[in-house]
Amino acid sequence: MATIKDIAKLAGVSVTTVSRALNGYSDVNTKTKQRIEEIAKEIEYSPNALARSLVMNKTKTIGLLVSGLSREGAKDNIVFDVLTGINEFCGAEEYDLVLFNTTTSKQKEKTYAQLCRERRVEGVIVQGIKNDDPYLQEIFDSNIPCVLIDVPVESETAGYVTTDNVDGIMKTIRHLAKLGHENIAMVNGHDQAFVSKERFKGFELGMLEAGLTVRNEWVCDGEYSERKAQEEALKLLNTYPEITAFVCASDLMALGVVRAAKELGRKVPDQLSVTGYDDITLASYVTPALTTVAQDCFRMGYAAADLLLSILRQTSGDRVRLIENELKIRNTTKEIK
């Protein structure tokens, strides 16, 4: 593979000159510069990013730590959307992305910091990390620039992007309350996600605002799984048939609840209202289409990359990006009779 040395030899100049010519420095004679460029093209030279990074101490690379990069992640296209957003922004900024492998069994052999430092990524975007993951503390301790999705961590070098999850659920409750619902249950996700806490807070606050009471036995953990949500909803509906609406912390779980309702012969939305969260692709395609809180995951990814680069460049002091969400009213919610 051709190097600048080869070019230098062919052009009869020093490697320094070649380096400068190729990197667009002004202090190179126009003719030599031209000659060098021609030769470079001719011998199909391509710069060795490794060598360059080594000496410049900059890799133009950001790392991606993704927990949901598994077979199941395909159903909710969240991970994918975020990834796309990141990719979009990084493309424009000429940063490349490296996907770290954390799916392996030996993920715990290497510490987070090691993973990043080995590859000399300039920063990291972390997605889908659970709040009992040991990496989380490391992220906070290390000084590697980092942006988390939906995990509130703030430091000199770390920030996060999220949506207003409290408000998202509150909007939902308001909508439900306006439709006359009073007996509202919630299917939350597991505790290892920060958003679960927020969404539950939104539930409490929303109920309070509507003058309704939260019954703790009507709040269950669907583990962000369709099947589990279905089971839990089934139990709840059997025990408390007076429930008229379910607020779910994810669309997949809402789908599970709709299944449960169907199983019991309760029509959605006529006899039961159900709401989701996320607005995954399925939400609008399914029948009845899901009323849900839409998160723009693409924008979240885009903003995450933006924030990370601004941390890298120390251009701004803020460490948080809040993305708007929106209640999409579709066909799983209806006025109570």
Partner DNA sequence: CTGAAAGCGCTAACAT
Partner DNA sequence: ATGTTAGCGCTTTCAG
Residue 99 binding a second copy, by CB under 8 A: yes
- Applying CB under 8 A, the site for a second copy has a residue count of 53
Nearer to a second copy, 1 or 26 (CB): 1
Of 42 and 209, nearer to DNA (C-beta) is 42
Among 14-22, 168-176, 178-186, 257-265, the segment contacting DNA (CB under 7 A): 14-22
Residue 240 CB, shortest distance to a second copy, in Å, is 28
Name residue, tokens 């990006």.
Answer: 321
Candidates 87, 165, 230, 244; binder of a second copy (CB under 8 A) is 87
Give the pairing of strands 325-328 and 291-295.
Answer: antiparallel
CB hemisphere CA count around 260 (13 angstroms) = 27
Nearer to a second copy, 90 or 243 (CB): 90
| Contact call for residue 20 and DNA (CB under 7 A) | yes
Instruction: Select from DNA, a second copy, none the partner in contact with residue 30, using the beta carbon and a kind-dependent cut-off of 5 to 8 Å.
Output: DNA
Classify residue 1 as exposed, middle or buried by CB count within 10 Å of its CB (0-12, 13-18, 19+): exposed
Show the 3-state SS of 140-204: HHCCCCEEEECCCCCCCCEEEEEECHHHHHHHHHHHHHHCCCCCEEEEECCCCCHHHHHHHHHHH
Is the Cβ of residue 185 or residue 294 nearer to a second copy in the bound state? 294
- Residue 142: CB minimum distance to DNA, A: 17
Q: Which of DNA, a second copy, none interacts with 203 (beta carbon under 5 to 8 A by kind)?
A: none
Per-residue mark of binding to DNA, 32-51 (x: CB under 7 A) = xx-----------x-xx--x
Smallest separation (angstroms) from a second copy to the CB of 30? 21
Query: Which residues make up the interface to a second copy (CB under 8 A)?
Result: 1, 44, 46-51, 53-54, 59, 61, 69-71, 73-75, 77, 79-81, 83-84, 87-88, 90-92, 94-104, 113-114, 117-120, 255, 281-282, 285-287, 298
